[in-house]
Structures are given as C-alpha cells and as structure tokens.
Structure 1
Amino acid sequence: MQSSQAPIGLFYGSSTCYTEMAAEKIRRCIGPHWIDLHNVAEIDIAQAEGYDFLLFGIPTWDYGELQEDWENIWDDLAQLDLQGKTAALFGLGDQEGYPQWFQDALGYLHAQLQACGARMVGYWPAEGYEFEESKGLTPDGSQFVGLALDEENEFDLSEERIQRWCEQVMREFGLQEGA
C-alpha cells in the first residue's frame, strides 16, 4: 500500500486482461501520480469511498452479463456512500459477437453508482459504433454512459479513444493534467 493516496481511484474487474490493460493505459495517459489502480478481485470496494474522483472499468460478458469479479462484489457496491464523489466509467465489449448486449454491464454499473449518490461524468458518443442494442446508452441513445472500447473488433481505435476520453474526464473532474 502506498503511503500517499493519489486523487483518483481506478477500480476494474478483468478476466481476460483486456480491461486491466485498458486501466493501465488510462493510468499512463492521465499520469501515474494521479491514479491508484485497484483490481476489484483483490481489494475491498469500500476503498472507493476514500476518493473524491473515481474511474471504474467493467467488461460485458456473454449475453449482457457482469464480469465475475464485479458480480462477486455487486452487493457490497450497492452499500457504498458516494455522495459528493465524481465518477466516470469505461467498458469493454464485443459489438460484432454480441451486438444485442454491447456494453450492457456499463449501464448496470452506471445505474448502481448513481444510486449510491455519485455524480456521473465521462459520457462518450455512440456515433461510429455498430451494434443492435445496449443498456449502456443514455436515454436518448446518443451517448454511452462511459467510454466504450471494443478490443475484439476496433483495437486500432482504442488508443485515440482513451486519449480523448482521459482529456475529457480530467476536464470534467476539474483537475489539471500534468501538474
């Protein structure tokens, strides 16, 4: 455990390493001094309450299901008090293999964190993605409730998407980059 805590806590669950790799890219992009990285399989999710700024990474599994590490802590997550906290999400999904469930877990996590009192930021345009349905969209369908990544089919777009989203999130968090 570090002696000093970074301003942003990034919490992720990952079975195939893709979400973990995206979390590490986000940490590098924003700057390691800004972010403490936490794998939800290895920590108590209550640690999220210790941060004012939160990032959460979640992949959608199979037919719109939660990744197992998130599923295991879902009840604990629902107990968090995130009043006064600002959170942004990123999700991984497969828009070709599972077009009816693309980024569904992103939507579940968004609803859960809002219910815990978090102010949600980091919404991302849905334009340019090819899928049939998603529970990870805003009510008007124009945006995802977080950064949508597809490492299966659009790996080549991920770096630029992460870069743009990190800049957007730091603005929305009201934090200076590179300080």
Structure 2
Amino acid sequence: MKLIILDRDGVINQDSDTFIKSPDEWIPIPGSLEAIARLNHAGYRVVVATNQSGIVRGLFDLETLNLIHKKMYRMVQEVGGLIDAVFFCPDLDETHPYRKPNPGMLLEIVRRLKCSLQGVPVVGDSVRDIRAARAANAWPLLVRTGKGTRTLEREAESCANVLVFDHLAAVTDYLIHSTE
C-alpha cells in the first residue's frame, strides 16, 4: 500500500492565524484538490492528520469540524479524488501524545491501517509536522504554502535535510515522477 499523510491547514486549504472556524472559511489552495486526485490515481491512499485545538479553545464545535471536513471530502471527490480518513487532535496540551509534534496521531494511523510509516511521506507546513514525522520514522516533506515559508525562515535548523516544495501539487509531481 502506498500511503501519504497530509496536514490540512496550509497544505490542502488556506491557513489562518485565527483558525478555520466554518465551512465558508475552508478554501482550498489552488491545485491542492487536483493533487490529491493525482495521488489517488498514482495508487496512493491519502490520509489527513491535523491538530484542531480550535475546538478546545471554543472557536468551533465538533459538528462544525465535521461540516468543514464534509466540504473538503465533497470538493476532493468533485475533482476525482478521495481522502481515506481524517485524524485530528483537538487537545491544546503539548504533552498530549496525539498532538503534533508528538507522533501519536501518525502512529494511530499506522495501527488502524495495519501498515508501516517507513518511507511514508508526511506533508506539512510547520516544524510540528516535521517533528511528528521524524518521531514516527516517517518521511517529512515541507510545503511553502500556509506557514511553510515562515517555518523555513524561523526554524531553518529543524528543516535541515527536509525536502521543500512550493505546494502540494509540486510534492505530487515529485512523488509520481520519482516512482516511474
């Protein structure tokens, strides 16, 4: 099984420092939905792993998060793609094992899908994503969208030896062409 794990905000959709709090605020990054469809057609299962502390902060509730994800699923399907699952952690506590940069969410994906993370690309836009991927023995990739450019500027040392791409579509091009 070929698997890819994507962060949500800043990788698939536009990010906001004030959180994505409603389906109307969930706006895909140009080309990201098509990139997911292309990954599917190349044999990848796509799973999303996202911190969603806005729930605990009282900015939105679980029902609203489900509506946001329903919109994401629908829009990906409209371009011929499929997201297999969304894993999220609403916790604010940095020590919570599922909250990135901790690897718990990624390890739960492995447990549920009965696979290994060895060589599995984990695409994110923050140092949290990189650290979680490394802690789970996965393959961290960074995109410049979302907080990616800021991450590169502020956390250059943490980004050492991490491949950097302009956006998810560029990651998709790289993965598809490197396995041909």
Same fold, TM exceeding 0.5?
no
* TM category, shorter: 0.3 to 0.5
Structure having the larger proportion of residues in strand: 1
TM-score between the two structures when normalised by the length of structure 2: 0.40
TM-score between the two structures when normalised by the length of structure 1: 0.40
